Structure 1
């Protein structure tokens, strides 16, 4: 039985000599399965079905046939499936029908809904964390131990997530560890000192002091990284410094421990930003934050044991259990750790979805929400000067964030152009 391809060649010209049958190909070259195709006994050519051949054999067979017929070799055409057919479950069937396009979901059609939900959950979890965290300090004033609990619960969450493959754990090597170590150390120091400030003063006052963080970031960029900061950015930071100073002078809960701890937290998070820029990796944000949390937990455990361990064993745990009960004590520690990890993770995921300007506005509004809700929940009495100073500081942060986002957008457009 002659091949379909070769039999068509006999009609081209009577002067072309008859070709010899090609050598029989071994069955090992083309695995034959039931229903996959058939090879005739004479030439081993494909005559029906969907037999799959290696590309190199197809190219060599076509070029040899062209050479035998003295035809110039032509480029072999490859038919590529359409995107719809490739994505359809029936793309590999023999029906030959058109693939149906799956309907677009509501969240895919309106991505702003998803982004808005991320913002809402970020704010909600952040407010709940700050309120619950302060309530714990009212009956259990041990910020170093509570900081360990925050990170510990988050690490357990990450380990469970890796175990079930959501997400898949990214590999870690010694070089990546060296890059992440200073980031994690600064993260641990900033987190612990923030909690020391939360335990010592009102939540609203701690967040007012932490509004100075952009000032420290600008100073570090100018004097450490050598980046030129525009004069407009420096001028926008003036109301931030003025507002924090006004609020601090008349804050009823003011004490030096809370103030200095919040300032150290600002400096620590500033250096965390600097080291983060030097440790840019291709790792996704979820895995990156998980590794930073693990390293930070190891860093936080020794100070907690040295500074608070004896007090905790002597009367710290017993006093807290006597005030609220064992069940509520354990439950509060667990949930404050969960809220801490989830709001940080959601903040990272949210800020990845938006433009720099939206990012800046989101951060400012978050601080406003936390300050406002903490005053309402705890009934903190603030003086008129403290309220005015807080508003001036927040407004200054908003102006600074707006100008910085605009500058970053202009730099990005210049690079793309």
Structure 2
């Protein structure tokens, strides 16, 4: 289990570092996102072909039921890349600490789950911390901020859809196969929009045409980002199969801290004291939210 958590964190760190390096010079988030889905699709098909994991039984009804998940998954990852293209990695992940807020909101709206007073109180430092960090962020701009907030909304919508989907009979479609199928569908969903909006830009000739001096390096980093992208999400699903959602949420909070620290060190992004305090408060709120949810689970399990 320690190895899985270590792999989850390591792949996520390298994804963010490679991805940001690419987006700093290659300003095509649709292309980058669809490339990541393409790499993940190849890896998933290879896994099934080599019998490394059981193949899912896919039919028309299953695909129709999974498409809503694929749509919000596509939008969430696209918006994350849009945000990373505009602001620092550390700031994007600070904003994404707002995920519990959207989780509570959407669960109340669509699942009828009313939040308790302790849950609502744990959301206050999250909202306040993000606001404090945003007010002093050097790289702040509205497109990056709104894209990150949009990714929170879409990813938590995905979780709500997943909960509804998991409540139905899904046969042999476990979490790993579900993620793999979502990845493949996401590639086909985003591909036409990518071509319409950005054209085919992932080639040495196209990159040289927009002034990139070392296109081979950018292409290599983009492919590595795609591998790390699929690997960290796949490992995340493997962990989710073995631990409770609350434990997974706490692990995700720690992962965000590690990614923020690693990106600040690697990119040397300036973080003022107010920004640091706001980020710490927001992440502390996420941890408090996780603890509240853990304590609320105990009576139900007794």
Q: How far did residue 408 of structure 1 move?
A: 2.6
Alignment partners' CA distance in 2, 1:390 and 1:138: 23
Q: Following TM superposition, by how much is the alpha carbon of 1:331 offset from its aligned partner in structure 2, in angstroms?
A: 1.8
Following superposition, the deviation at residue 321 of structure 1 comes to 7.8
| Runs of at least 5 residues in structure 2 that lack an aligned partner in the other structure | none
Give the TM-score, by structure 2 length. Answer: 0.94
Note if 1:390 corresponds to 2:279.
yes
How many Å apart are 1:270 and its aligned residue?
1.4
How big is the shift at 1:405?
A: 2.1
Superposition deviation, residue 165 in structure 1: 1.1
Name the SS for the 1:382 alignment partner: coil
- Higher relative contact order, chain-length normalized (CA < 8 Å, sep 6+): 2
8 Å contact 1:196–1:258 — kept in the other structure?
yes
Cα drift, residue 325 of structure 1: 4.0
Check if 1:147 corresponds to 2:33: yes
Residues 353-362 or 305-314, more deviating: 305-314
Aligned residue-pair number: 298
Q: Could you say what secondary structure the match of 1:165 adopts?
A: coil
- TM-score, normalised by the number of residues in structure 1: 0.69
Give the equivalent residue in structure 2 for 1:56: none
Could you tell me how far apart the structure 2 residues matched to 1:400 and 1:290 are? Answer: 29
Note the C-alpha offset of 1:137: 1.1
Q: 1:400 aligns with which of 281, 289, 295?
A: 289
Deviation at 1:247, TM superposition (A): 0.5
Return the match for 1:159 from 26, 38, 45.
Answer: 45
C-alpha distance after superposition, 1:304-360 (max 9, x if no partner): 11221177799852257842242x233222211110000100011122222344323
Task: String of CA shifts for 1:110-158, please: whole Å, max 9, x gaps.
Answer: xxxxx00111111011001101110111221211100011010010111
Task: Specify the alignment match of 1:297 in structure 2.
Answer: 187
- 2:257 equivalent to 1:371: no
1:249 maps onto 2:139 in alignment = no
Q: Which structure shows the bigger proportion of residues in helix conformation?
A: 2
Aligned to 2:119: 233
- Per the alignment, do residues 330 and 312 of structure 1 end up closer, same or farther by CA in structure 2, a change over 3 Å counting? closer
Q: Structure 2 CA distance, aligned partners of 1:201 and 1:344?
A: 23
Paired position in structure 1 for 2:101: 215
Closer/same/farther in 2, CA of residues 335 and 222 from structure 1, 3 Å limit: same
Q: In structure 1, what is the equivalent of residue 233 of structure 2? A: 344
Cα 1:387/1:316, change in 2 over 3 Å: farther
CA 1:412 to 1:247, structure 2 compared with 1: closer, same or farther past 3 Å? same
Question: Which structure: larger Rg?
Answer: 1
Instruction: Point out 4+ residue stretches in structure 1 off by more than 3 angstroms.
Output: 310-316, 319-322
Report the CA distance shift for 1:311/1:172 in structure 2 as closer, same or farther (over 3 A): closer
Structure 1 stretches of 5 or more lacking a match? Answer: 1-114
Structure 1 residues 216 and 146: CA distance shift in structure 2, 3 A: same
